[in-house]
Copies of this chain bind each other. A is one copy, B any other.
Amino acid sequence: MLETFLITLEALGVLAFALSGIMEAARKQFDLVGVVMIGAVTAFGGGTLRDVLLDRRPFFWVEQEFWVWALILVGLTLPFFFRATHIALTEKAILIPDAVGLGIFAAGGTHLALVAGMSPMIAVLMGVITAVVGGVLRDVLVNEVPRAFHDHQPYAAIAFAGGWVLVLLGYLNTPEYLDVAIAAILMVAMRLIAVRLKIQLFRWRFL
């Protein structure tokens, strides 16, 4: 059951990040194929790097091939839907799927690393990597400074803090899937609140 829960969660995260990649690429007037590929890189990039670092095989997208098909379908049709319904692809609209992906991937990545026997600190870092790398690749590929490093709003910081929450929850007697769910929801909420309240991280300013 935990297995099923984790796969469902990862699928949700994949979908959320795919959405953010597809929206970003459509916004930048990429072509049909470019939109699908940016979506795929955003969705699978973080988890794949995590699995390479943890030496885990097979990858999520190899084992759960259905999601590759789903992603291609969504990437090919979604922009039509946006256009038909005149939904504006503003930068702000992208923040919501991005926040959902952040929470799910950070919680899932940390959990997987803990299961693989990593120390808490390394597990938390793996969560950060899982959550951040997809979006970073997306931004690098559309030739922008990655938002996660430069938008001055907490992103990786939330993945980091949320990872430690998951580690601490692990010392309680709660079922594992509940720990992961709580940490994920907490991070999504923190991100949305941070964006809403325009909380800014301290930024360096030199002459």
Closest residue on chain B to residue A143 by CB atoms: B145
Do A143 and B141 touch (CB < 8 A)? Answer: no
Specify which chain B residues have a CB less than 8 angstroms from the CB of A146 in the assembled complex: 141
Q: Which of A184-207 contact B (CB under 8 A)?
A: 200-207
Partner of A33, one of B34, B57, B88, B155: B155
Q: How many copies does the complex hold?
A: 3
Stretch at the interface among A4-12, A48-56, A94-102, A165-173: A48-56
The size bracket of the interface on A is: 35 or more
Interface residue ranges, A against B (CB under 8 Å): 25-35, 37-38, 48, 52-53, 55, 57, 59, 61-62, 65, 68-69, 79, 82-83, 88-89, 118-119, 121-122, 125, 132, 136, 140-146, 148-150, 152, 154-157, 160, 200-207
